[in-house]
Structure 1
Amino acid sequence: MNVPVAIRNQRGPGLLALQWADAEALISHARLRGACPCSQCRAARLQGRVSLVSEDVRVEQVVAQGYGVQLVFSDGHERGIYPWTHLRDLG
């Protein structure tokens, strides 16, 4: 499994920095919120419902879940667990 060696949550600029063994990826909090892998968000995307995400949304908390991380957002959304492969693809 490809796991990042470091994760830094940069609230000011709204970026999640992931340091992989071979590269660093910076992913905006808004992009992460819009790509939430939880069942509700996935179902909405599959039904063609596009949810507008505010550029002001921030990741408030990063919780390790073994195969990825759970992200808690400033808009109250906290259902998504982002597998490492999903984060790698987003970066």
Structure 2
Amino acid sequence: MNGPSSIRNQRDPGLLTLQWAEGEAVISHARLRGACPCSQCRAARLQGRVSVVTADVRVERVVAQGYGVQLVFSDGHERGIYPWHYLRDLG
């Protein structure tokens, strides 16, 4: 799957905007952090543990990984790589 034509990270108000061929998707930083696809976060969700994500969490950096992006969050979490198809589904 191809990635978006552009990605805009807005620290205030905490939104990641992705421009796909069929339109724009806007996802809050808190939603992205709560839906982290790393193995630790996925395992916690499968075990029924809910991580509390504060509304003020922010994406500090967006790092291209070819098939998606690695998001580095203000709470120090940086393990998740978000594939394009996963981001499309979240948006």
Fold-level similarity (TM above 0.5): yes
Q: How many residues are aligned here?
A: 91
Q: Does 1:43 align with 2:43?
A: yes
Gaps of 5+ in 2: none
What is the CA-CA distance between 1:15 and the residue it aligns to? 0.1
Aligned position for 2:53: 53
TM-score (norm. length: structure 2): 0.99
4+ aligned runs moved over 4 Å, structure 1: none
Name the Cα RMSD after superposition: 0.4
Classify the secondary structure of the residue corresponding to 1:70: strand
* Matching residue of 2:11: 11
* TM-score of the aligned structures, taking structure 1 as reference length: 0.99
1:84 aligns with 2:89: no
Identity %: 85
- Residue 68 of structure 2 is matched in structure 1 by 68
2:27 aligns to what? 27
